[in-house]
């Protein structure tokens, strides 16, 4: 992988990296199109990272379709699909981990305490291996994006991190590989997330600046649907990810909700 990138760079060509866990959907494809408009060559890594799954999470059942992924990536003009094995990324005796403090706390970090250590470590390894000029991440996992931004700044990694807007399905559900887990009866409750975000946006537009009131309205809306369980509703600073009681300036609203056995996340930036 590194030799190929070196050949491109010796010709003065730029390289973009898109880290993924595969099972591509339109959200992934939009990242590929964006990368293709910014760089001469696009590398998409496909690695289902065991280090970011907890002991009771869906690693063994995570959806996979390498043949389809390869076809979709090729159709989008991707130069290389990089698919390392777990034994190569985590060889015997592996003992070095990247842990980002601060922004990895709270939100998803509360219920998944080791998740972002696994994310930061694998992204650091991918950046070191590929050595891209830029790396593109979707904004759906806003906390992950901030963890990676912080890591890159703190470790002086010479790469430009680019955020890409959330891509949604026609009914508004944020695209995710895990959406395939939702059955027909769970589709409507799953829409409670985006509906809750829009409700909050409307409340702010009408002049409500109270964080507790907005959070309670969101919880009430989500709980009005059967088979839902709120993991968290967060209002806070989009840079530091510290909570706010009042919605001032640009404020991140992020939430995680269990719909049946599927955990979904979504977010929006509220603007005063």
Q: How confident is the model at residue 9 (pLDDT cuts 50, 70, 90)?
A: very high
Residue 58 has pLDDT above 90, yes or no: no
d(CA 251, CA 258): 23
Going by C-alpha positions, the residue among 67, 79, 109 that lies closest to residue 18 is 79
CA distance 160 to 113: 27
- Domain spans of the chain, in order of start: 2-164, 177-271
Determine the Cα–Cα distance for residues 46 and 59; give it in Å rounded to an integer: 14
User: How many angstroms separate the Cα of 140 from the Cα of each of 78, 165, 252, 264, 266?
Assistant: 22, 7, 12, 10, 6
Amino acid 55: pLDDT? 85
Identify whether 28 is a catalytic site residue: yes
Q: Is the dihedral of CA 244, 245, 249, 252 positive or negative?
A: positive
Element (H, E) at 12: none
pLDDT, tens digit, 9 for 90 and up, residues 68-121: 999 999 999 999 999 999 999 999 999 999 999 999 999 999 999 999 999 999
Sign of the torsion angle spanned by Cα atoms 59, 63, 68, 74 = negative
Q: What is the pLDDT of residue 56?
A: 81
For 199-229, the three-class secondary structure string (H helix, E strand, C coil) is: HHHHHHHCCCCEHHHHHHHHHHHHHCCCCEE
Kindly report the pTM of this predicted structure.
0.95
CATH of 2-164, one of 3.40.50.620, 3.30.420.40, 3.20.20.240, 3.40.50.720: 3.40.50.620
So what's the pLDDT on residue 272? 79
Q: Which of 28, 41, 115, 164 is catalytic?
A: 28
pLDDT per residue as tens digits for the range 174-184: 999 999 999 99
- Cα separation of 24 and 130, whole Å? 20
Q: What is the mean pLDDT of the chain?
A: 97
Q: Is 177-271 a domain of CATH 3.40.190.10?
A: no
């Amino acid at each position: 992988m590194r030799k190929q990138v070196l050949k491109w760079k010796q010709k003065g060509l730029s390289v973009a990296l898109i880290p993924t866990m595969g099972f591509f959907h339109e959200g992934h494809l939009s990242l590929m199109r964006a990368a293709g408009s910014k760089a001469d060559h696009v590398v998409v890594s496909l690695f289902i990272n065991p280090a970011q799954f907890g002991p009771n999470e869906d690693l063994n059942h995570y959806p996979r379709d390498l043949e389809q992924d390869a076809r979709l990536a090729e159709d989008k003009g991707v130069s290389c699909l990089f698919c390392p094995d777990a034994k190569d990324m985590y060889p015997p005796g592996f003992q070095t981990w990247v842990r980002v403090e601060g922004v990895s706390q709270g939100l998803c970090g509360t219920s998944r305490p080791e998740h972002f250590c696994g994310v930061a470590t694998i992204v650091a390894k991918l950046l070191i291996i590929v050595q891209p000029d830029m790396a593109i991440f979707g904004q759906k996992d806003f906390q992950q994006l901030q963890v990676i931004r912080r890591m890159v700044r703190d470790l002086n990694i010479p790469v430009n991190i680019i955020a890409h807007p959330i891509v949604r399905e026609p009914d508004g559900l944020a695209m995710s590989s895990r959406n395939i887990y939702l059955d027909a009866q769970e589709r409507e409750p799953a829409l409670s997330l985006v509906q809750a975000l829009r409700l909050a946006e409307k409340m702010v537009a009408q002049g409500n600046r109270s964080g507790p009131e907005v959070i309670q309205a969101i919880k009430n809306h989500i709980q009005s649907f059967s088979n839902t369980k709120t993991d968290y509703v967060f209002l806070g600073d989009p840079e530091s990810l510290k909570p706010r009681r009042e919605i001032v300036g640009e404020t991140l609203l992020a939430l995680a909700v269990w719909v049946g056995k599927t955990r979904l996340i979504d977010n929006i930036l509220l603007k005063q």
